[in-house]
Amino acid sequence: MRPYRNHLAFYHTNGSLDWGSLLCATDMASSLVSRTHLTPRPAAAASTASPCSARFAVRRRRGLVGGVRCQAQASDMDGHYMRRCVELARKAAGHTSPNPMVGCVVVRDGRVVGEGFHPKAGQPHAEVFALRDAGDLAENATAYVSLEPCNHYGRTPPCTEALINAKVKDVVVGMTDPNPIVASKGIERLRSAGIDVRLCVDEEASCRKLNEAYIHRMLTGKAFATLRTTLSMNGVVINQIGSGADQPEGYYSQLLKEYDGVIISSNFAKTNTLPVSREAGAKQPLYIIIAQCENSQLNIPFLKEERAAEAVVLSDSPITVEPAGVDVLVLDQMNLDAILQLLAQRGLCSVLVDFREAGGGIASLLNNFQDDKLVQKVVVELLPVWAVSKGPSDLAFGGSQSFPLKDVEHSEVNGSVLLQGYV
């Protein structure tokens, strides 16, 4: 069947879901940032010699074979320690914007002597914490960092100088920094100080995924947007979250922890409790409330006055909001492009567009999100219920033609099916 035009690609003309299209859309997403001119160590596969022939060759050319083996082993270990950097960096998910998440591991003589991660904007960077942890053992050690060290003075001193002063011997970076203030300048500074710098090719993709929102903001000047919705078995948008999804370790609770903001409609804000992450130590997202064609007053009953600073109302006309203290911005143009630029300017790297109801203000924002490259990811929860539908589909937006989602993943959680993929 031909997909229904103006729909996400997983709908047939009769409104039913084409899960086959979703589960087959597994093209790899294109890289957001080009690699810098680093010289990576050759991977183990670069050597065509078998272990047997290598043992014979060592008698003739011990230096060459020994070098190949050491390079292969170094590549394996680089990947191991870089994965640990990513693991450390994720500890600060939801806390670092507008900064990226970064982890650092200091290794000397095959032993980890220091670890650290960037906890929040304004705090020291990952390299500083790791070097403090290592102390004097950082000298002649190798520092692994998931993102190129900075070389400029901001709210904190440059990490390149910290590494140089600690007298590290090597630095392995997971990826170059797309921030034009950095953009390979950190690598150049380290090399000029006599420090060997190399790229961990095997884990570059995982380092990019870690900071996909930060990268997107740097390259486009807009917040990274993820569209989330819940569907019934017959494809109707429903204002419901699956069992356990909003509890600790539930997917929805984790999304709210990881994203800097969540876009909701004024109708939802007037009649529902506001979404809250229940993850330990979570920083709650900024509530971005879309108020279109509202009366002169908007009451948000479930937002307490002491938490008014945690919300912002975007309106197409002047409006009074209760409780007092909520920031109100009247936009000349109420469209997703302008909103994402505004959020990026306010320091948000990522935003969750929480689509809970058919029609309404949020639906109009999403009319051409694929054509205009405004939404980067889609998360759909399918619940085992059959809902009354007013039409063939409630997701009649997205663009002028059907399109496949990329890198689609699916899982079953408490009887619901969770699908997510990149636009």
User: For the ranges 18-22, 111-115, 143-147, 246-250, which has the lowest average pLDDT?
Assistant: 18-22
Q: Which residue, chain included where needed, has tokens 């948008």?
A: 237
User: For the ranges 75-79, 173-177, 304-308, 405-409, which has the lowest average pLDDT?
Assistant: 75-79
Q: How confident is the model at residue 333 (pLDDT cuts 50, 70, 90)?
A: confident
Q: Count of alpha carbons within 13 Å of 342, Cβ hemisphere only?
A: 18
pLDDT at position 383: 96
Domains annotated on the chain, with CATH: 74-210 (3.40.140.10), 220-420 (3.40.430.10)
**Given a cut of 60, is residue 148 above it in pLDDT?**
yes
Q: How confident is the model at residue 359 (pLDDT cuts 50, 70, 90)?
A: low
pLDDT at position 59: 31
Q: How confident is the model at residue 196 (pLDDT cuts 50, 70, 90)?
A: very high
pLDDT at position 293: 77
Q: Which three-class secondary structure state does DSSP give residue 109?
A: coil
Burial of 240 (0-12, 13-18, 19+ CB in 10 A): middle
Q: Which two tokens stand for residue 225?
A: 């947007």
- Find, among 373, 296, 369, 420, the residue nearest to 26 by Cα: 420
Q: How confident is the model at residue 154 (pLDDT cuts 50, 70, 90)?
A: confident
Query: How large is the average pLDDT for residues 186-202?
Result: 96
Give kind and range of the element (H or E) at residue 59.
Answer: helix 51-60
What is the number of other CB atoms lying within 10 angstroms of the CB of residue 404? 17
Residue 165's contacts (CB-CB under 8 Å, 6 or more residues apart) are: none
Asked if the bond preceding 404 is cis, omega within 30° of 0, the reply is: no
Asked if the bond preceding 323 is cis, omega within 30° of 0, the reply is: yes
Q: How confident is the model at residue 378 (pLDDT cuts 50, 70, 90)?
A: very high
Q: What does 341-406 look like in DSSP terms, one character per residue?
A: HHHHHTT--EEEEEE-SSSHHHHHHTTTTTTTT---EEEEEE-S-----SSS-S---S-SS----E
SS3 content of the chain, % helix, strand, coil (to 5): 30, 20, 45
Q: Which residues make beta-bridge pairs with 232?
A: none
Higher pLDDT pick, 81 / 50? 81
Q: What does 289-312 look like in DSSP terms, one character per residue?
A: EEE-S--SEEE-TTS-GGGGGGEE
Q: Which residues of 35-44 are buried (b: 16+ CB within 10 A; e: fewer)?
A: ebebeebeee
pLDDT at position 263: 97
CA dihedral of 345, 346, 347, 352, whole degrees rounded to 10 = -100
Give residue 261's identity as a one-letter amino acid code.
G
pLDDT at position 309: 93
Give the span between the Cα atoms of 331 and 168, in whole angstroms: 51
Q: Which two tokens stand for residue 56?
A: 């014979």
**Given a cut of 60, is residue 421 above it in pLDDT?**
yes
Q: Which residue, chain included where needed, has tokens 């047939």?
A: 12
**Given a cut of 50, is residue 207 above it in pLDDT?**
yes
- CB of 193 closer than 8 Å to CB of 164: yes
Give the span between the Cα atoms of 298 and 182, in whole angstroms: 43
Give residue 246's identity as a one-letter amino acid code.
D
Q: How confident is the model at residue 360 (pLDDT cuts 50, 70, 90)?
A: low
Q: Which residue, chain included where needed, has tokens 């639906």?
A: 363
Q: Which residue, chain included where needed, has tokens 């183990």?
A: 44
- Find, among 310, 317, 302, 303, the residue nearest to 285 by Cα: 310
**Given a cut of 90, is residue 157 above it in pLDDT?**
no
Higher pLDDT pick, 28 / 186? 186
**Given a cut of 50, is residue 48 above it in pLDDT?**
no
- CB of 178 closer than 8 Å to CB of 212: no
Average pLDDT value for the chain? 83
What separation in angstroms does the CA of 6 have from each of 19, 377, 400? 17, 17, 5
Is the C-alpha dihedral spanning 69, 72, 75, 79 positive or negative? Answer: negative
**Given a cut of 60, is residue 61 above it in pLDDT?**
no
Q: Is 127 a catalytic residue?
A: yes
Q: How confident is the model at residue 7 (pLDDT cuts 50, 70, 90)?
A: very low
**Given a cut of 50, is residue 22 above it in pLDDT?**
no
pLDDT at position 182: 84
pLDDT at position 313: 96
Of the residues 127, 148, 279, 310, only one is catalytic, namely 127
Indicate the DSSP class of residue 195. Answer: -
∠ CA 314-320-326, nearest 5°, is 60
Q: How confident is the model at residue 296 (pLDDT cuts 50, 70, 90)?
A: confident
